[in-house]
Amino acid sequence: MTGRTLGRALVGAAIAAAVLLPLAFQGTQPYYLQLAINVLISATLALSWDLLARTGQLSLAHAAFYGLGAYTSVLLTTRAGVPVLLGMAAGALVASAAAVLLGFLTLRLRGIYFAIATLAFSETLRVITNQLPFTGRATGLIAPALLGGQRAAQYLVILVILVVLVIVSGWINRSRWHFAFTAIRTNEEVAAVIGVDVVRFKVLAFAISACFAGVVGAYYAHVFLFISPLEVYSLAVSVGALVAPIFGGLYTTAGPLIGAVVLRAGEELLRSTVGGGYPIIYGFLLAVVILYMPRGLAGLWSAASARLFRRRPLREARAG
């Protein structure tokens, strides 16, 4: 269908333009580049959280992996002279390892118990980091810059990270993993009885999700040059990571990205008007979505396009 391919090409071109635009403005309006970096960080966190959510594990520990990535990288680069990019890779590794641990620990926990346990894990890390002199306590740590502080180059780095994640997410959704994840999410016991290796998939999802959260955490550290427990282990990180996919459409690749972009834009707008209370939009949207549009934006789009184009909605994504 040429109509569809043309449509896809247009969307692709629009995205490419939007992505490259900030670079064009970097000389005159460096703010946009900064904003773009922030948006891409949020997008990566959102999509990586969604990966885990596909197995039915709605975690509140995303900040834990973000923070672990950040602290690992900063500690290695400042105390052991490790080059920044290697530090970032190490951050991803440590985050993944922690996720495997947490994954095994929480295997039998469901729903709210799981959420609380992950939250407890994240906050425990925050408290520990806050207390230990080794990690700089509440004062935090200063980090060396990535690629000499060149914003344009840094922007390309996060872009690459996000693209890799998008490819991974798309692949997962098109392969048999999609069925395993969905089966586990829908009904874990039945999935096991049918022969799905539930443990393997759940822990693997955790590891992959955390890997990206970790690398982004490290990235954040080396771009913004300063980290503290309150910032990187904060609940706001985990909340931002989960509201975006719920808002944009769970279990899809596009949903979390769209959600992240919209939310970040809204956040920037709000920050200028209400200052410290800007996360109020997250709370408000979360409540509204759960009450009135459980399928998020992607669900609305899919229902609308079904009516417009007489196509059946594809993957149906629902919160919960």
Partner 1 sequence: MSLLALAGVTKAFGGLVAVSDLSLEVRPGEIFALIGPNGAGKSTTFNLISGLFAPDSGRIGFDGADVTAAPPAKRAHLGIGRTFQVMQPFHDMTVMENVLVGELFGHAVPKSMAAARSDAAEICALVGLAHLADRPATALGVADLKRLEIARALATHPRLLLLDEVMAGLTPTEARQAVTAIKAIRDRGTTVLLIDHVMSSVRDLAERVAVLNFGRKIAEGSFAEVAADPLVIEAYLGTESDDQVESDGDHGQH
Partner 2 sequence: MVIFGVLRSGLYSLTSVGLALAVGVVGIVNFAHGEFLMLGAFLGYWLFFSYGLDPLAAIPIGAAVVFLLGAGVYRLGIQRVLRAPELNQMLLTFGISIFLQNLAIILWGGDPRVATVSYKASAVSLGALTVGVPQLVVFALAMALTLALYAVLGGTRIGKAMRAVAQNRLGASLLGIEVDRIYLLAFGLSTALAGTAGMMITLQLSVSPFIGLLYTLKAFAIIVIAGLGNINGVIYASLVLGLSEAFVEFYVPQGGGWAEGVFFFLILLVLLVRPRGLFR
**Residue 183 interface partner, choices partner 1, partner 2, none, CB cut-off 5-8 Å depending on type:** partner 1
Query: Quick one: which of 10, 153, 280, 300 contacts partner 2 (CB under 8 A)?
Result: 280
As measured in angstroms, the least distance from the Cβ of 246 to partner 1 is 16
Binding mask 253-282 for partner 1 (x = CB under 8 A): ------------------------------
Helical spans, DSSP H, in the chain: 2-24, 30-53, 62-79, 84-105, 111-131, 151-174, 176-186, 188-194, 198-224, 229-232, 235-248, 254-274, 280-292, 296-309
**Residue 185 interface partner, choices partner 2, partner 1, none, CB cut-off 5-8 Å depending on type:** partner 1
Among residues 112 and 308, whose Cβ is nearest to partner 2? Answer: 112
Amino acid type, 320:
G
Q: Does 189 bind partner 2 (CB under 8 A)?
A: no
**Residue 198 interface partner, choices partner 1, partner 2, none, CB cut-off 5-8 Å depending on type:** partner 1
Segment interacting with partner 2, rule: CB under 8 A, options 30-38, 61-69, 106-114, 300-308: 106-114
Q: Rounded CA gap, 235 and 242, in Å? A: 11
Q: Rounded CA gap, 40 and 28, in Å? A: 21
Sign of CA dihedral 59, 43, 74, 139: negative
Number of C-beta neighbours around residue 174 at 10 A: 10
As a whole number of angstroms, the longest Cα–Cα distance in the chain is 62
Query: Quick one: which of 3, 5, 27, 108 contacts partner 2 (CB under 8 A)?
Result: 108
Q: Going by C-beta distance under 8 Å and a sequence separation of 6 or more, which residues neighbour residue 219?
A: 41, 88, 146, 154, 157, 158, 161
Segment interacting with partner 1, rule: CB under 8 A, options 187-195, 202-210, 220-228, 293-301: 187-195
Closest CA to 258 of 287, 231, 295: 295
Q: Does 170 bind partner 2 (CB under 8 A)?
A: no
Query: Quick one: which of 60, 98, 196, 297 contacts partner 1 (CB under 8 A)?
Result: 196
Residues that bind partner 1 (CB under 8 A): 175-176, 179-180, 182-183, 185-187, 189-199, 316, 318
